[in-house]
Every structure is written in C-alpha cells, then in structure tokens.
Amino acid sequence: MAPALEIRGVCKYFGGLRALNDVSFVVETGELMGIIGPNGAGKTTLFDMISGYTQLTSGQIIFEGADFSNVKPHSIAGLGMTRTFQNIRLFGRLTVLDNVLVGLYCRTSAGVLDAAFRSVRSVREESQAREKAAEYLSLLGLADRSRDEARELSYGDQRRLEIVRALVSEPHMLLLDEPSAGMNTFEALKLREIILHICKGMKKTILLIEHNMQVVMNIADRVVVLNHGARIAEGSPRSIQRDPHVIEAYLGRRYLKHAGD
Amino acid sequence: MASKARLGWLAFLVAVVVVPAVSGGYVGHVAVFISIYVILASSLNIMIGLSGRTCFAHAAFAVIGGYACALLQLRLHIPYWIALAMAGVVTAIAGVMLGIPATRTRGPYLSLVTLGFGEIVRQVSINAMNLTRGPLGIPGLPRPSIAGRRFGQYEMFLLCFLTAVATVVICSRLMHSRFGRSVMAIREDETAAQAFGIDIARTTVIAFAVSAFFAGIAGALSATYLQLISPDLFTFADMFIMVCMVVLGGSGTVFGPVLGAAMLAAAPEMLRFLDEYRMLVFGALLVAGIRWWPSGVISKRLDEKLLRGFYFGAGARD
C-alpha cells in the first residue's frame, strides 16, 4: 500500500531565504507523525505547502499515491485531508454548530436553488449534516455549546472546536498545527488523549506540529525534526531525544556531552 | 406561543394588504415603494450582511433590471412576465461581470470598484441614445394584465408585496443554508474557509449574482409601476439610502433590512409637513439612528425569535 503522505525533496525559497531546503520524509497510513523544531524551522511553511497555501519552489508532495504539489487550498478537504491552524482560525461570529457545518461543506452539495426552493434532497442533506455535526460535537464535549458563537468559547474549547471542524468531514489525514498551544498542562494532557484516540481509535493518519514535548513525545509513533529549513533527524521519540543533532539544535553544542546519559 | 405568533403575523399581513386597498392613492404609492425597497434592502443584505462586502452597485443593478424589462418587451416583444423574470437573469449576469473583478479586491477598494460600476451603468444609460433614449428615458411602459384586466396601482402593490415576501423568505433560507454559511465563513476567515473546500472567488461571485438578481427584479417592478424607465430611476442618493436601510435595520438579519426599508422609505413621506426642512430632519434622524442602534434595530437574537414566529413555530430553525 502506498504511504499516506510522501514529501520528496521539497524546497521553499522566499527570495534568498531558504525556508525549507530539500526536506524528505514519509508518513505511513495510520501513523501519528510528529514534527518538531525550534521557532522558524519551517514547520508551518511545510504545512502550508502540503495544504496548498504556499507554492513549492521545487520537490514533490504525494498524498495517497497522487501528486499533491501545488494543490489548491480549497480542494484538499474534498480529497480527504483537513487541517487546523496555529493561530486559531474559527468563524468567530458563526455559531459553534455552523462552524462544524462549514467543516462538512466539502461533503455536501446543496446550491443556491436547492436552498431557495428547499429541494427534498437539500432538506435531507441538511438534517443529516446537522446530525453528524452534533455527533462530532458531543464526541469532544462541545454539544451543549452548539448555539453559542464560536468567539464566546474559552481558549481550550476553541482549539477543540477547530479539531471537531477538521474531523467532521471524515478525512483520511489530519494536519494539526500546534493544537496544544496556549493550553494549561491539564488541558494539554486531555488533548493528548483525544489526538491519540483520533489516530488509533478512529484510524486517521495524523501529522502533528507540536512544541509541547509532553504531548508529542508520548503519543507520536515517529518524529521528524526540522532546523533552519532542513530535516536534521527522524525516528522514534526515544531515539530523537538522544540524537546529537537535535540536542545541539535545541540546547546548543555544550550540552552534547550529556547525550546518551 | 406558536399560535400567538401565528395570529400576530396574520394580523400584520391582513393590515398590510387591506390598508392600501382602502386608502388608495398616496398611501398605495408609498406602499408600493416600501415593498420595492424591501426587495432591494433584503438582497443588498446578502452582500453587506452575509458577505461583509459593502457593495455600492445596487442602484445600478436596479436600473439595469428596469431597462432589461422595458427593452425586452419593446424591442423583442417578449411577454411581461417572462421579461420580468429575464430582467432578474440579465441583472444577475451583470452581477457576475462585476463580481469577477470585484472579488479580487477587499474592503474600501471593493466599495470603490462597485461605485465605479454604478457610474459606468449611469453613463451608458445616459449616452447609449439608440438603446435607452438617453436622459429622456423610455415612457409609456405597458403594465401587465391578468384575464384582460390591466394592473392598476393596487394590483401593482400586490405584485410588489408578494415579490417582497418571496424575496425575504428566499433570503432567509439562503442565510441558513450551506451557501449562506459558506459566504459568512469567507467573511469571517478566508484562509480557514478555503481549508474546508470553499472556493472564495466562485462563492463570492454567486453571492453577487443572487444579490443582483433581486435588485434587477425590483428595478423592473418599479419601472413597470412608474411606466417609465430613465437613468435616474435609482440614483446614488437612493443607493446610499439602501445601504442605510440594511445597516440601520440590522445587517446580517432577515428582518433588519425589512424594517429598515419600511422606516426609511416611509420617513421622508411622513416628514412632508416640514416642507423644505424635510431632508434636513431626515438626515438628522439617520445620524441619531446610527448613534442609538450602531448594530441595527433588529439584533441577531430578536431576528431568530421573529423567524420562529414567521415559520409558525414549525421547528424549521431547530
């Protein structure tokens, strides 16, 4: 079986700045792959290229065996990949339920005329969509907030709503960009269980950018480390923690001698 | 609760239909224009309220609809009812033509593009003499007839009123549909909207087209009612009033633009006793309105409540 996602020699130059330089790795189907790296390492740029927001300078991205390089941002959801954003990007003045229903946009098809004349097909589609949205909202414990505006939610709830919105269209693969950012320890641990459940229980492939080592090192199957736009290490969380390149990137050269302790 | 709301709406509808019939003349004339402005404000709300794009082309759309309806009848001898529908379609196409370049711009730039479009329409309607007869306009437009009976003022009112009700119902359905949500999602966050499959350009152009369609119908109706189409059927001043109707009534709500249209279309008439100070006071009232209801008279919450009554508590919203 083809891997879920293949990154082949991807480069992104902004003028003279090499944001990503010849990065390659493979995410297997059903795997929970973490991406870590210091600030400015190019993690979010990589996400933006996978999801079509940023054009590749060179290289290739392959999703489920098909070329995904320079795909349009609005076509990835329909192809089975959704994402969350580093800075929460909810539809603030829409209700929680409507946010999730927008998540189902790519799985529904009613147009303007369907809505204007309440076609039988669109009424059925709408009620099915609402049922499904409610189901996913209760899965992450947001069911009782569904009529509130998204901007009224607490920070942690907003992060979880972003995940519900990305999950409801039943994608094969989820890109999560720092889902625990700004959460307290308790919330982050709860989120860790949710992500693990989505990957292993609901059988989704997950690519996870995360700064919180408590989260990523405990649940990721493998971890890729980026630094200054280059892939400096890849492997199990345990081996990554001992990798001299990683220690140097995070802590500096003088901590190298403690490696392997 | 449901039956009370039902009675309230029923009483309102009866009053609206009966009063112009009884009083006729002047009141009937105002009632026609309130209905036409309800159509214009409700459809403009799709742009201002839903899409968050302040579009200044609505008067131009109405003028296009008026000319389309008149010329289709006079030049191509198309029957009235078909010409009326086609006026909407022609204007929707004009909406697409404006929408394609306009979606590339944001905020004040988009407003300027739509303002420019309005000026183009005005200049064309003034200068394309052999098509529009220029500033002279085209007088003597025939009114429709049913079963050999030509439409008088009251029949025209009923036609405009029913069209207004249909427009409000359709606009409210659109707002609570997949399409409406996608338009609002773009307003809230374009980047996130794309990630869920929404094509920003396509969706916004469709919003322009839908909004223009109803404006075209409204323009055709008022040309039919006045039996005259000329470049100043709807002017820039009228367009700013339309924007005020949406904003003062409550943009993004179903009933806000309806109330705004009723208030601002009726107010200049009710202020006639002030003679030359009329528009001065009208302007002051507008400013006061915006001061006291900065987000519109009808709030989202009140709108939801009214909607439940409108659908006779049939649970359509739950």
Q: By residue range, what is the domain housing residue A143? A: 95-170
Mean pLDDT of A109-118: 91
User: Does A154 share its domain with A179?
Assistant: no
Closest CA to B245 of B19, B58, B12: B58
Residue A29's pLDDT is what?
94
Is the CB of A161 inside 8 Å of chain B's CB atoms?
A: no
Q: What is the pLDDT of residues A194-228, one digit of tens each?
A: 999 999 999 999 999 998 898 999 999 999 999 99
Rounded to the nearest angstrom, the gap between the alpha carbon of residue A203 and the centroid of all alpha carbons in its chain is 15
Residue A195 lies in a domain: yes
Q: Which residues of chain A does B180 touch, with a Cβ-Cβ cutoff of 8 Å?
A: 115
Spatial distance between the Cα atoms of B125 and B127, rounded to a whole number of angstroms: 6
From A141, A170, A199, the end of a domain falls on: A170
User: Does A176 share its domain with A54?
Assistant: yes
- Would you say residue B282 has pLDDT above 90? no
User: Does A108 share its domain with A72?
Assistant: no
Q: Which residues of chain B does A91 touch, with a Cβ-Cβ cutoff of 8 Å?
A: 184-185, 188-189, 192-193
From A170, A185, A220, the end of a domain falls on: A170
Mean pLDDT of A91-105: 95
Name the residue of chain A whose CA is nearest to B174's CA. A115
Instruction: Give the list of residues 6+ apart from residue B119 with CB closer than 8 angstroms, or none.
Output: none
User: Does A44 share its domain with A59?
Assistant: yes
Name the residue of chain A whose CA is nearest to B252's CA. A93
Give the phi and the psi of residue B189 in degrees, each rounded to 5. -165, 105
Mean pLDDT of A138-150: 92
Using CB atoms, which residue from B181, B189, B194 is nearest to A74? B194
Helix, strand, coil: what percent of chain B each, to 5? 75, 5, 20
Could you tell me which CATH number the domain at B2-137+149-310 has?
1.10.3470
Interface residue of B178, B187, B251 to substitute, partner A, most A CBs within 10 Å:
B178
- Would you say residue B179 has pLDDT above 90? yes
Is the CB of B174 inside 8 Å of chain A's CB atoms?
A: yes
Residue with tokens 């329409």, as numbered in its chain: B121
Q: Mapping DSSP to helix (H, G, I), strand (E, B) and coil, where does residue A92 land?
A: coil
User: Does A204 share its domain with A216?
Assistant: yes
State the average pLDDT for chain A.
91
Residue with tokens 């469709």, as numbered in its chain: B206
User: Does A4 share its domain with A110?
Assistant: no
As a whole number of Å, the CA-based R_g of chain B is 19
Please, are residues A34 and A208 in contact by the beta-carbon 8 Å criterion?
Answer: yes
Residue A132 lies in a domain: yes
Mean pLDDT of A230-248: 91
Entry pTM: 0.90
* Predicted complex ipTM: 0.89
Please, are residues A220 and A237 in contact by the beta-carbon 8 Å criterion?
Answer: yes
User: Does A39 share its domain with A116?
Assistant: no
Residue A36 lies in a domain: yes
From A152, A170, A188, the end of a domain falls on: A170
Residue A89 lies in a domain: no
Instruction: Give the list of residues 6+ apart from residue B38 with CB closer than 8 angstroms, or none.
Output: B164, B167, B168, B257, B258, B261, B262
User: Does A73 share its domain with A178?
Assistant: yes
User: Does A183 share its domain with A165?
Assistant: no
* Nearest-neighbour CA in chain B from A225: distance (Å): 25
Residue A25 lies in a domain: yes
Structure tokens at A92: 């603030």
User: Does A140 share its domain with A163?
Assistant: yes
Instruction: Give the list of residues 6+ apart from residue B222 with CB closer than 8 angstroms, or none.
Output: B32, B33, B36, B62, B66, B233, B234
Q: Which residues of chain A does B173 touch, with a Cβ-Cβ cutoff of 8 Å?
A: 115-116, 118
Q: Rounded to whole angstroms, what are the CA distances from B183 to A164, B169, B256, B303?
A: 20, 18, 19, 19
Q: Please give the sequence-ordered ranges of beta strands (E in DSSP) within A85-228, or none if there are none.
A: 173-177, 205-209, 222-227
Amino acid letter at B62?
Answer: A
- Would you say residue A260 has pLDDT above 60? no
Quick one: pLDDT band at residue B301, thresholds 50, 70, 90? confident
Structural domains of chain A, count: 2
Residue with tokens 């200054």, as numbered in its chain: A228
Spatial distance between the Cα atoms of B192 and B218, rounded to a whole number of angstroms: 35
B65-100 b/e (C-beta count within 10 Å ≥ 16 → b) = bbbbbbbbbeeeebebeebbbbbbbbbbbbbeebbe
Nearest-5° Cα angle at B248, B243 to B252: 75
Residue A88 lies in a domain: no
Task: Give kind and range of the element (H or E) at residue A93.
Answer: none
Q: What is the pLDDT of residues A4-46, one digit of tens each?
A: 999 999 999 998 888 999 999 999 999 999 999 988 889 999 9
User: Does A181 share its domain with A166?
Assistant: no
Q: What is the pLDDT of residues B86-113, one digit of tens each?
A: 999 999 999 999 999 998 888 889 999 9
User: Does A165 share its domain with A176?
Assistant: no
Q: Please give the DSSP secondary-structure letter assigned to residue B44.
A: H
Residue A56 lies in a domain: yes
CATH code (residue A74)? 3.40.50.300
List chain B domain ranges: 2-137+149-310
Quick one: pLDDT band at residue B181, thresholds 50, 70, 90? very high
Residue A90 lies in a domain: no
Q: Which residues of chain A does B177 touch, with a Cβ-Cβ cutoff of 8 Å?
A: 110, 114-115, 122, 126
